[in-house]
Structure 1
Amino acid sequence: MRLDKYLTEMGMGSRSEVKLGIRKGFAKVNEKTVTRPEFKVSDKDSVLWKGTPVTYVEYEYIMLNKPAG
């Protein structure tokens, strides 16, 4: 998966914001700074965004409670 898509799906910003941040050097993959948004990452890679670890979650479940009436 592309790094920009990975970060966008994890809620780090819009695709254009993430691409700009990657080019500025805010992303690290396996302790190396990456400046190409098209860089390929896998679920085994360690990804940091602005110093914060980002883990990939394929599905996210949200439960709501709507009382009767």
Structure 2
Amino acid sequence: MWRPRGSLTTDANAEVGAIHPKAMPVILTTLAEVETWMTAPAEEALKFQRPLPDGTLRIVARGVKEDPALAT
């Protein structure tokens, strides 16, 4: 069964930008943000389409991707 899916992105913050400089997902961090996102008029909800402040995210894995398809 086909189910539509989507994601909303925004500019990358410092942590994400070090890995993927083009964009990062929009991340809602509080229940109030989720409630606004789901119920407010679009112009108010879209205020959340912004990167998280630098320092909010923590990198939990580092290293070279071990994908044989990427071998040179």
Normalization by structure 1: what TM-score?
Answer: 0.26
* More helix by percentage: 2
Normalization by structure 2: what TM-score?
Answer: 0.25
Query: Larger radius of gyration, structure 1 or 2?
Result: 2
* More strand by percentage: 1
